[in-house]
Amino acid sequence: MATWLAKMEQMILLCVLSTCLSAVHPQNFLLSPKWVPAGHREREEHGDVTAMDKIIKTNEFHATRIIDGTTTLREGDIAVSTGRRSRICFARSCLWSKSVDGHVYIAYTLSAEYSDIDTKLIKKGMDNIEDGTCIRFVPQTHQRDYLDIQPKSGCWSYLGSRGGRQTLSLQNPDCMQVGVITHEFMHALGFVHEQSRFDRDNYVTIMWPNVWRDRLRNFEKFKTESLDLPYDYGSIMHFGKYAYSMDGEPTIIPKSNRNIKLGQASSLSHIDKLKINRLYQCTVKDD
């Protein structure tokens, strides 16, 4: 009798435990909303995912806001060092040097960890920048200042030229998309995100209640140079409409037309190229 009662108690306990576990959605248990941008699945279904959406998704999973003891990420993917080299590069304050032939040669090294396919994708990102501009990426030989492209944790870059070797992280395979690569190279050239422009409130509305509470600082404004160019809703440097959404609702809404698409998935916009040419005073035709 005692044995039979013990077995009945075990069966009842198992039934109760099974009922409790079934009430817990596995996605809620495994993936907290803090780490999965709400609405990301919906954007993928409609084909509206931007380069920055992909970066946010990767960095929230793999890269923390503190890369190491002295470096943090600002706006999701801009590396900022503390201490002696804490200055923030905006526009003309830290450009790469221009050669006498009118080109800006940016030296780089590529990690041996990258596959042939990875290398081809990175080269395509370089081609995006070079096409129609005076920027040229060249393998590092004797140059003191150069980009050290590494598959670190996440997709991120410092802003502009910092002097000496500077890391640009393109984690594989998560960052191995041409738009993501191009976006990080734009940061390395000295460009911040488009919605960080000081005059952005004339063009977009930031829906603060929809933004993750601990990511509000990613929507700060900075006194950057507009280079006498119009606000570019379609810039590869623009956040997507649902960037850092807490509930799947838009975090950025264009003021002129709510249906304007924000950001780019894989290529520079026309104005992005104009920005490069204006900032680096390229002699190529920029109209």
What are the residue boundaries of the structural domains of the chain, listed by start? 51-280
Q: How far apart are CA 158 and CA 73, in angstroms?
A: 9
Residue 254, phi then psi, degrees to nearest 5: -65, 140
User: What SS3 class is residue 52?
Assistant: helix
Q: Which two tokens stand for residue 187?
A: 């940061």
Helix/strand/coil (H/E/C) assignment for every residue in 107-128:
EEEECCCCCHHHHHHHHHHHHH
Query: So what's the pLDDT on residue 59?
Result: 94
What pLDDT sits at residue 81? 84
End-to-end alpha-carbon separation of the chain, Å?
92
CATH class of 51-280: alpha beta
Residue 129 to residue 117: CA distance in whole angstroms? 19
**To which H or E segment does residue 78 belong?**
strand 78-81
| C-alpha–C-alpha distance, residues 249 and 36, integer Å | 14
- How many Å is the maximal CA-CA distance in the chain? 97
| Per-residue model confidence (pLDDT) at position 128 | 98
pLDDT, residue 38, reads: 47
DSSP reduced 3-state for 106:
strand
What element of type H or E holds 272? helix 270-279
Could you tell me if 195 and 239 are in contact, meaning their C-beta atoms sit under 8 angstroms apart? Answer: yes
Provide the pLDDT for residue 88: 54
Provide the sign of the torsion angle of the four alpha carbons 73, 78, 80, 86, taken in this order. negative
pLDDT at residue 34 in the model: 43
Please identify which of the residues 113, 184, 225, 249 carries the catalytic annotation.
Answer: 184
What's the rounded Cα separation, in Å, for the pair 274 and 285?
A: 9
> What is d(CA 85, CA 99) in angstroms, rounded to the nearest whole number?
25
pTM: 0.83
pLDDT of res. 230: 97
- In angstroms, the CA 263 to CA 253 distance is 12
Judge whether 262 and 86 are in contact, CB under 8 Å: no
46 appears as a binding residue in the annotation: no
pLDDT at 30: 31
d(CA 87, CA 219): 19
Q: Is 184 a catalytic residue?
A: yes
pLDDT by residue for the chain (287 residues), tens only, comes to 545 444 555 554 444 434 443 433 333 323 334 444 544 544 554 457 999 999 999 998 877 777 777 788 999 999 998 764 444 565 456 899 999 999 999 999 999 999 999 999 999 999 999 999 999 999 999 999 999 999 999 999 999 999 999 999 999 999 999 999 999 999 999 999 999 999 999 999 999 999 999 999 999 998 888 899 999 999 999 999 999 999 999 999 999 899 999 999 999 999 999 999 999 999 876 55
